[in-house]
Amino acid sequence: MGPDVPLLNDYKQEFFLKRFPQTLLGGPRFKLGYCAPPYIYVNQIILFLTPWVLGGVGTLLYQLGIMKDYYTAALSGGLMFVTALILQMTNLYAKQKTVRVERMQIQNTLTDEDEFEFSSCVGSETVKFIIPGKKYIINTVFHSLLAGVLCGLGTLYLLPNRITLLYSNIGGTVMIFVFGWVTICIGEYSLIINTATETATFQALDTYEITALMRPFYIFVFIAVDLAHRFAVNTAILEQTNQILHILFLFLPFLWAMGILPPLDALFLWGMEQLLEFGLGGSPMSSNTKLLVMFLISAGTAIASYFIPSTLGVILFMTGFGFILSLNLSEIGFAFKHTMISHLASSKSKNMHRGLRIQFGWREFIFYLTVLTFALIEASLLHQFAGFSSFSKASPQAIASYVLIVLLIIMWILREIQRVYLFGVFRNPFYPKDVRTVTVFMEKQRRLMKVGVVRRILLTLVSPFAMIAFLSLDRSLQNLHSVSVSIGFTRIFRMVWQNTENALLDIVVMSVAQMLVFNPDLWWNRSLDTGIRLLLVGILRDRLLQFVSKLQFAIAILLTSWTEKKQRRKSTATLITLNVVFFPILLTFVAISALLSSPLLPLFTLPVFLIGFPRPIRSWPGPVGATACVCSDTVYYQQMVPSLAVALQSALAAGSLGLSLPGSHYLCRFQDRLMWILVLEKGFTYCGVNIKGLELQETSCHAAEAHRVDEIFEMAFEHQEHTKILSPNHHFGHILTPCTVLPVRLYSDARNVLSGIIDSHENLKQLKDDFIKVLVWMLVQYCYKKSKTWESPGNADKNKKGSFPDHQHSGTVERSRSLRGEDSFSVDTIEDWTDDSDIFDLEPSGRMKDRREPGQLGTTPKVHLSIPGSVETQSQDGSQEMSPDDKLYRAVVLGLPAVDKGKQQEVVPQVEFSCCYSELLSIPEEWRTAPVPTSKVNEMRQRFPEEWYHFILSQLDFFHLKEKPSNLLEDLMKDKALKDLYIHGVLSCCFGLFGLDNTVPAPSHVFRAYTGGIPWSVGLDWLTGKPELFQLALKAFRYTFKLMIDKASLGPVENFKELVNYLEEYENDWYIGLVSDLEWQQAVLQEKPYLFSLGHDPNMGIYTGRVLTLQELLVQVGKLNDEAVRGQWANLSWELLYATNDDEERYSIQAHPVLLRNLTVQAADPPLGYPVYSSELLHLPLF
């Protein structure tokens, strides 16, 4: 697709132009897309202005001095409540009394409303069109009541006298009064008449009609500030805030339409997340429930610390609860729950829960208890004996700050030298060069692994205790019952454990600032205690990092829109010029989005930037890992994720992935696999991540971006021998920065063209002989394994005798007659026809009928020719003469349907074994009934590999038999009846797969036989009627084909022992089949060492072999620009949920090698994205 593909196609543009004005005005539909009577528009205008009219009544009475302000508010609110109820009751009445009129033909199938036939100004269709009504009765009453309260308080908020007191300007009063009421009318219409579709959409479905409450909520927030100002008249800050908000109140419709203000669900989740992280020192959580519970517990801890009467108690309380709340409480609770169950439940329950992932045991419990004990002892002793001195250059607290500065520098250096690029810009000279194999990498990385261990100890043990020492020595803790102390120190005492690296940075920054400025009269030192200073430093640090990241993202979009030729549109030059001219406004947008911690939204991923609404750090509302577009490729990710999680655990603990915080994104690459990793929560010695797997079937866009990812990783890890020390990162500015490689146990995928092997005449000729050998081995192994279920040879004799009923000893004529009715074809019958025979004779000539081959297995069943679709008639007297016409009539009854004569009972001839143990290896009775001619049996007897057969028998041990003769194997080898059974079994399978001719099979037939897609034949029909035998034959053929490839690649098989080794290896370590087989997926999940599949490309006419090999290989990992991902996901949410632009060829999903736009869209949660795999929350221990 070219760069000028439409952002929205024609019908989507029309849809958007109808929806946006409705969103802007709060719900009125003035652009319908079809002709509607004028009263439709007039009615909507009247309903839109109704709150203003009702509020105007109260305002007029107040201005005339007839009523006081709160009475006017009550009057306007009461009138609005009654009006809203009447409107809702009108809608209910219209729904009950009328039947929906059949709608007209819709020209545009993507409109968001039906076309109505309107009959009158107040007709039922008119009412239902203008007032859709509520889904729930409780919302009908609640929303009506809320509409009344909103109108009453809005009247109070916009009283002209009140506005004049704030601004002392008549012109400003008029502007605020008029446009303020427009804002209230928009909120009222959205609440009670028709809820508009919001540009700020978080949930795909509004199940409980929460969207209608969004606009009234923000109006109530503004009114609440005004009410607070009314009751606190002399508060200057409230007055200034009220003045600013009255002006901002006029721009609420613009903020709603632009999607800057979040919907209520996203607002409360974002608010709790921000308060938990920056106000209470916690971490964002992976689910809404965990977020709410952790927020309540953390807030309760801060409140409880306010009421503790002693400073020592405050220190111990904050230190203890800060440590406990930073642990992985959900996993600890999970482990405790199942430990209790295992003690109380039965042994069955114990076995059931033993395999569960429980990462908390006695070792972890003792470790945590020891750390907590030492932390409490340290905090109490330091505070008790050295916590009353003021901060100076020689004070104990200053000495502790010097230690923290040194620790920060050391940890920062140790973290950076483990990454392939320093600061993402220069190549790290300490990183192993030319990393391609696990062995070489692990050998070269030993020094860095030691560095990682040192850093882990400093991060886990040394730094927290050093920070606790610094905090325990602070004088601010002497102030009991202080809100600032309770909030600030509860936060930092927890953050020391929850987010050690950032806490260390904050304390060092504050300490340096305090050392540079000792002036006690400065506002920083005079008005703020240490806890609040650290809180402000933490917020400033986070927002500054977000600002830099968002600015990098914006500049990347601006530059690549011109430098990448495929992204250069006709409007690109104009957009770049506007961004340069209005660059201060762009910086303002970036700063506001950073301040709100909301994504910077590039509209359609063009250099047109908007402020997205604030949302939780995980960006999506649903539970983690709940949905994915599962397909056949999913199993490869399911197999590798446990091993990848272990490797990530080591990398995160060592710091080789950089500073990993909740909201960090990583991209892993191996061959055709792309893994997207999102860090969701982090605490003391644990990290919670979600791993997604992207599709393997690469589209053109996917392939273009994946190719750029490969280039970046190859430049970083595989081409280092040609680069200089501290050489620059040639892909600096890309949203992907390589970090390191991880050894992961997974499948490597190798595909080979089999030309020269599958089409070799010698190989195909040998294929049949090898198939016989493999099939003999397969049958013997099958019967041998089955014999292990038998307890003794006596039992075997009993089974042998019981397996042949008496009626099977009947004569040859009866057995032959019983098989004549079988609807199948035998080549032997063709051989029995003579030139003198009539083609319509029911039986062949008599001289051939009684022919028997010497040494035949009992009697070979004969099945005679039947014309398909005919109805055969049985002659009661075989010698009776018939005229040719009668023969024709009796053979074929034209015009009549075929008669199903039912399945005849297959009769098995009696077999007498010379060895009483032969029954243990006897093939099942139903496998002996193949309709093969006697001549082919003799031919197979000559081709049968007797030496191979004896060698296989000699390898059997029969350890499962309690008593066995010493010459058992010799007796089995001498048993001709047993050998004849295997001859017949092998012939039956050959008959089904190859037919009875001795021609060399063509490559196409080999491929069909491998895939099980052989054209129908009589032999195949019989073979498929024995599913177990058919699967054995198919498996043997696949083994034979793999053997053919191995012999062509590695050389011929020297002896029987080597051939057995091949077959045993295939049986134990390989799955040989098709990628589409269910067993293939099971083999991947069971981690079979090798898998092989045969494929065919009909376009090129070539056959390919695919081999998956399970081994430990290096997976490349890079860190993504978090804000680039959040910004693109915000645009995706807006584009699909609001603009409904789901075109598969839309511009915003096209390949962008720098932004990785297509891959980022794939990694979004369904239904907007389409990852083929998404893991549940993975808890990674980091100690």
Other CB atoms within a 10 A radius of the CB of residue 1012 amount to: 18
List, for residues 698-739, the tens digit of each pLDDT value: 777 888 899 999 999 988 887 655 566 778 888 888 999 999
In this prediction, residue 428 has a pLDDT band, given cuts at 50, 70 and 90, of confident
Q: Residue type for 1098, please?
A: P
Q: What mean pLDDT comes out for the span 1157-1168? A: 93
State the Cα–Cα distance between residues 49 and 51, nearest whole angstrom: 6
State the Cα–Cα distance between residues 115 and 442, nearest whole angstrom: 68
Pairing of strands 609-611, 421-422: unpaired
Q: What is the pLDDT of residue 866?
A: 39
* Residue at token pair 């003391």: 684
Hey, which of 65-69, 405-409, 726-730, 750-754 has the most confident mean pLDDT?
Answer: 405-409
In this prediction, residue 288 has a pLDDT band, given cuts at 50, 70 and 90, of very high
Q: What mean pLDDT comes out for the span 1105-1124? A: 94
Q: How far is CA 807 from CA 276, 607, 927, in A?
A: 84, 89, 19
Cβ partners under 8 Å of residue 140, min gap 6: 85, 88, 92, 133, 134
Q: What mean pLDDT comes out for the span 1115-1130? A: 95
Q: Which residues pair with 1118 in a beta bridge?
A: 667, 738
State the Cα–Cα distance between residues 1151 and 1126, nearest whole angstrom: 18
Q: What is the pLDDT of residue 388?
A: 65
List, for residues 103-122, the tens digit of each pLDDT value: 444 434 344 445 667 778 88
In this prediction, residue 446 has a pLDDT band, given cuts at 50, 70 and 90, of confident
In this prediction, residue 443 has a pLDDT band, given cuts at 50, 70 and 90, of confident
Q: What mean pLDDT comes out for the span 610-630? A: 91
> What mean pLDDT value characterizes the chain?
84
Q: How far is CA 483 from CA 302, 334, 490, 520, 929, in A?
A: 9, 35, 11, 22, 91
Higher pLDDT, 435 or 735: 735
State the Cα–Cα distance between residues 1148 and 605, nearest whole angstrom: 6
Q: What is the pLDDT of residue 975?
A: 85
- In the predicted structure, residue 818 carries a pLDDT above the cut 50: no
State the Cα–Cα distance between residues 1169 and 1148, nearest whole angstrom: 13
Higher pLDDT, 836 or 244: 244
State the Cα–Cα distance between residues 701 and 713, nearest whole angstrom: 19
Q: What is the pLDDT of residue 114?
A: 52
- Report helix, strand or coil for 483: helix
State the Cα–Cα distance between residues 983 and 980, nearest whole angstrom: 5
Comparing 54-68, 191-205, 517-531, 936-950, the range with the smallest average pLDDT is 517-531
Q: What is the pLDDT of residue 520?
A: 60
In this prediction, residue 427 has a pLDDT band, given cuts at 50, 70 and 90, of confident
Tokens representing 658 are: 């950089």
Q: What is the pLDDT of residue 720?
A: 59
State the Cα–Cα distance between residues 326 and 164, nearest whole angstrom: 52
Q: How far is CA 94 from CA 32, 47, 78, 130, in A?
A: 22, 17, 24, 12
- Report helix, strand or coil for 110: coil
Q: What is the DSSP string of 626-688?
A: S-----TTHHHHHHHHHHHHHHHHHHHHHTTT-S--TT-EEEEEETTEEEEEEEEEEETTEEE
Q: What is the pLDDT of residue 276?
A: 96
Alpha-helix residue ranges (DSSP H) falling in 1070-1142 = 1078-1085, 1122-1133
1167: preceding bond cis by omega (within 30 degrees)? yes
**Percent of the chain with pLDDT strictly greater than 90:** 52
CB 936 within 8 A of CB 882: no
In this prediction, residue 25 has a pLDDT band, given cuts at 50, 70 and 90, of very high
Q: What mean pLDDT comes out for the span 665-673? A: 93
Cβ partners under 8 Å of residue 343, min gap 6: none
List, for residues 307-327, the tens digit of each pLDDT value: 999 989 999 999 999 999 999
Instruction: Give the dihedral sign, CA 100/102/107/109.
Output: positive
- Burial code (b: 16+ CB inside 10 Å, e: under 16) for 545-583 equals bbbebbbebbebbbebbeeeeebbbeebeebeeebeeee
Mark residue 364 as left, alpha or beta (left: phi above 0; alpha: psi -120 to 50; beta: remaining).
Answer: alpha
925 burial level (CB within 10 Å; 0-12, 13-18, 19+): middle
Hey, which of 235-239, 478-482, 686-690, 727-731 has the most confident mean pLDDT?
Answer: 686-690
Q: How many CA atoms lie within 13 A of 519 on its CB side?
A: 5
CB 598 within 8 A of CB 267: no
Q: How far is CA 393 from CA 370, 390, 400, 511, 530, in A?
A: 33, 10, 11, 11, 17
Q: What is the pLDDT of residue 670?
A: 92
Q: What is the pLDDT of residue 812?
A: 35
What's the 3-state SS for 195-263? Answer: CCCCCCCCCCCCCCCCHHHHHHHHHHHHHHHHHHHHHCCCCHHHHHHHHHHHHHHCCHHHHHHHCCCCC
Q: What mean pLDDT comes out for the span 959-976? A: 80
List, for residues 1008-1022, the tens digit of each pLDDT value: 999 988 888 888 888
